[in-house]
Amino acid sequence: MLNFYRLQQDYLKFEGADRLDLINRLSTNEVNSLEKYRGIKTILTSDKGRFVDIVTLYNFGDFVLAACSFNNSKNVIAYLDKYTIMDDFKPVDMSGTHETILFYGDDVSSFAAELFNIDTGNFENDDFSVYASDDKHIIIARNDDAFGGLNFIYASKDRPFWEEKIFNKDLKNKFGLAETTNELYETKRVEYGIPAFGKEMTELTNPLECGLNRYVSFTKGCYIGQEVIARLDAYDKISKHMVGIRSEIEIPIGGSSGDVKLLADNKECGFVTSSCISDKFGNIGLGFVKTIFLNYDKPYDIKINENLLKCRITKLPFDNELSAHR
């Protein structure tokens, strides 16, 4: 079975001779050496080390295509403009011009090979290839989060052409294509422990608290927020950690405000950011617990108005907990 989900993302185009150098100086990952047809994620942070956005860079050689969070392209451009002084750099807002479909499952490589005659087996990070047909282009890019799979990115105006090719009857029958709903995607995201922008990734949190260390270089030198993040890492001073939450009763929806509180021994120790009902794990969610209260063996409470809902926390992803109890 091959699954697909229509991702909502904004896109930007970075032009100018200093495009990679500037992003390297403003974001957490080392991107200066990014080669053509290579892709990588990096995080834009405030001077306090908090999230501005997580951005995927696709290097085309003479320009960089960047994917950022849905409805956040203007904020990203404003952030970049703030720190662009004498640089040869021009960001172009391309939100609404492209669409993305994530294909994931065991047969995704075979699916891409049959469609586009490409081998994606050697792709690393968010590497990509470009396929052209009748003057129309589609990007086939590795997806490096826990969903795995490949992102197919194409111009919105070319949607009829590409969907006719991708979703033809023979391929549907061969690969058993099944569309993932928004609800199911959100459930799997929580099960996998993938932080979402606007929920886990906010102005209240930083990349290390969200477990996104792989997108942070500790050797490349300065960037905006670097001093804060480096100090947290060097002195093991991360103040809170993203955790999984389980309860016998449905967990109230949290969010970026941190209004749904977690308590330990009647003391406020964290907050809930996401919640869902999983067929596999029951009532689950994501949230943050302050490091000094972090104990996976003790009970916690979720505060709902004046009522308390008993819960416990677990390391992520939730499958790890299932394996530990087998």
DSSP state string for 127-165: -EEEEEETTEEEEEEE--STT-SEEEEEEGGGHHHHHHH
| Residues 136, 258 within the same domain | no
Domain assignment present for 205: yes
| Residues 161, 206 within the same domain | no
CA dihedral 188, 192, 195, 199 (to 10 degrees): 40
pTM above 0.85, yes or no: yes
Q: Would strands 240-247 and 307-314 be described as parallel, antiparallel, or unpaired?
A: antiparallel
Helix (H) / strand (E) element for 223: namely none
| Residues 39, 155 within the same domain | yes
| Residues 265, 215 within the same domain | yes
Domain assignment present for 185: no
Residue 200 CA to its chain's centroid (Å): 10
Sheet holding 90-93, edge to edge: 39-45, 51-59, 64-69, 9-15, 90-93
| Residues 30, 148 within the same domain | yes
Give 149-204 pLDDT, tens digit per residue. Answer: 999 999 999 999 999 999 999 998 999 999 999 999 999 999 999 999 999 999 99
Domain assignment present for 36: yes
Sequence-distant (≥ 6) Cβ neighbours of residue 9 within 8 angstroms: 67, 68, 69, 70, 100
DSSP string, 157-208: GGHHHHHHHHT-HHHHHHHTEEEPPHHHHHHHHHHHT---BTTTBSTT--TT
Domain assignment present for 276: yes
| Residues 221, 287 within the same domain | yes
Domain assignment present for 182: no
Q: Decide: helix, strand or coil at residue 33.
A: coil
Domain assignment present for 174: no
CATH of residue 308: 3.30.1360.120
| Residues 12, 155 within the same domain | yes
For the chain, 326 residues long, give each residue's pLDDT as a single digit of tens. 899 999 999 999 999 999 999 999 999 999 999 999 999 999 999 999 999 999 999 999 999 999 999 999 999 999 999 999 999 999 999 999 999 999 999 999 999 999 999 999 999 999 999 999 989 999 999 999 999 999 999 999 999 999 999 999 999 899 999 999 999 999 999 999 999 999 999 999 999 999 999 999 999 989 999 999 999 998 789 999 999 999 999 998 776 667 899 999 999 999 999 999 999 999 999 999 999 999 999 999 999 878 899 999 999 999 976 544 43
- Residue 150's nearest CA partner among 173, 177, 127, 178 is 127
- Residue 313's nearest CA partner among 240, 247, 215 is 247
| Residues 80, 18 within the same domain | yes
Answer with the one of 166, 184, 213 that is the final residue of a domain.
166
Domain assignment present for 318: yes
Decide if 75 contacts 93 (C-beta within 8 A). Answer: no
Domain assignment present for 43: yes
| Residues 136, 92 within the same domain | yes
| Residues 113, 240 within the same domain | no
Sequence-distant (≥ 6) Cβ neighbours of residue 76 within 8 angstroms: 10, 12, 44, 52, 53, 55, 66, 68, 91
| Residues 150, 79 within the same domain | yes
Answer with the one of 151, 166, 181 that is the final residue of a domain.
166
Phi/psi zone of residue 253: left (φ > 0), alpha (ψ -120 to 50 degrees), beta?
beta
Which residue range(s) make up the domain with 46?
Answer: 2-166
Query: Total domain count for the chain?
Result: 2
DSSP bridge pairs for 170: none
Q: What percent of the chain has pLDDT over 90?
A: 90
Give 306-320 pLDDT, tens digit per residue. Answer: 889 999 999 999 997
| Residues 82, 146 within the same domain | yes
Answer with the one of 166, 184, 209 that is the final residue of a domain.
166
Cis before 207? omega within 30 = no
